[in-house]
Amino acid sequence: MKWFFHFKEEAVTFVDNNFNSLNLKRNNFYFLFFLVVSFSSTGQEIADTAFEKTIFWRITGNGLKDTSYLFGTMHPIFREDVYIANKVLYEFSRSTAIYFENTLPPNPDSVRIALTTMKKPNLKSLLGNICYKKLVEKLESYNDPILNDPLFDRYTPNHMNARIMKNVFGNKLTTIDDSLMILARMNDKKIFALDEPEVRERFSDATTLDQQATILYDLLNDFEKNISDYYRNLKGITGKYLAGDIGFIYTRNNFVRLNNNWSGRSFIIRKSSAQELLDDRNKNWLPKIERACQSQASFFAFGVSHLAGMKGVISLLRKKGYTVTPIFLNN
């Protein structure tokens, strides 16, 4: 990725190969200083990423007797786009232990209820009459039986959002993780989770109920356009995934462009959720990954965004002295 400042007499232009350029007035010194600091940290964050374009990596060195592998997955993905290269499947089949972000809990029904229901408030009071009516009408258009569920008014807006997407796309959506999980079970592989059980519950609280309600309202308010945009964006990111462009996906998922109404300008910052969703989990995963690699040939499959960045799994392992080598796939 190329980062540079182009100075003119009247303005400063920031350019990179993922975002559009933006211009800043030179006399706005303090705003410019803030942006330079922001861009510098952002540039460092991305520049420390391993930019070899692949989602498959070999772990060796640092006294390891066995070879282990990292594989970046995608969730969600359209079923028609699921592709796992032969190189990946071969090393997957040879690995003794398979690690995923999380595995099915021993009591899935109780966990599901805990993650998808609210104690207070009820759904109608949270959404308001207009949004609630739109939701019911949309579910009725799909003859969704959830309308008759006694828990209906206790379900979270996120759960209703997911329910609508399932109605729209049916079984067309899946994950790479699910495909590998099925293969692991069919071949009697030992399966382990990188996340601790409480992490799943903490993620359910990452978005407040009010934020969830706003997201659901936005979806329903311009439904056809939002569904079309979702389809197009998911197809686009899938293309980057199959091309192994982990740098692009990392940047797209973790940085956001903000418009400054006062100055009429925009700037790029990292999403506030990135630390908890990525950095903290990567750091917590590292001891497990190290122990697994030291004891047996292991295969680690997790979301591709965890690979890249200076706090990504690749960089963390390299800082520990391991050799993490890209394996390029011809997709």
pLDDT in tens, 68-92: 999 999 989 999 999 999 999 999 9
The CA angle 176-278-271, to the nearest 5 degrees, is: 110
Write b or e for each residue in 149-172: b if 16 or more Cβ atoms lie within 10 A of its Cβ, otherwise e.
eeeeebbbbbbbbebbeeeebeee
Does residue 33 sit within a domain?
Answer: no
Does residue 123 sit within a domain?
Answer: yes
| pLDDT attached to residue 208 | 85
DSSP letter string over 161-192?
HHHHHHHHHGGGEE-HHHHHHHHHHHTT-EEE
Q: Which domain holds residue 72?
A: 48-326
Condensed to tens digits (0 to 9), the pLDDT of residues 105-130 reads 555 555 566 678 888 889 999 999 99
Which segments in the chain show pLDDT lower than 70?
Answer: 1-51, 104-114, 200-206, 259-264, 266-267, 273, 331
| pLDDT attached to residue 269 | 76
| pLDDT attached to residue 15 | 35
Does residue 12 sit within a domain?
Answer: no
Does residue 130 sit within a domain?
Answer: yes
| pLDDT attached to residue 256 | 74
| pLDDT attached to residue 260 | 66
* Burial of 321 (C-beta count, 10 Å sphere; 0-12/13-18/19+): exposed
> Is the whole-model pTM more than 0.85?
no
Does residue 21 sit within a domain?
Answer: no
Does residue 66 sit within a domain?
Answer: yes
Does residue 175 sit within a domain?
Answer: yes
| pLDDT attached to residue 106 | 54
Does residue 220 sit within a domain?
Answer: yes
| pLDDT attached to residue 263 | 64
Q: Which residues pair with 209 in a beta bridge?
A: none
| pLDDT attached to residue 24 | 40
Instruction: Specify the DSSP class assigned to residue 155.
Output: B
Domain count, the chain: 1
| pLDDT attached to residue 217 | 95
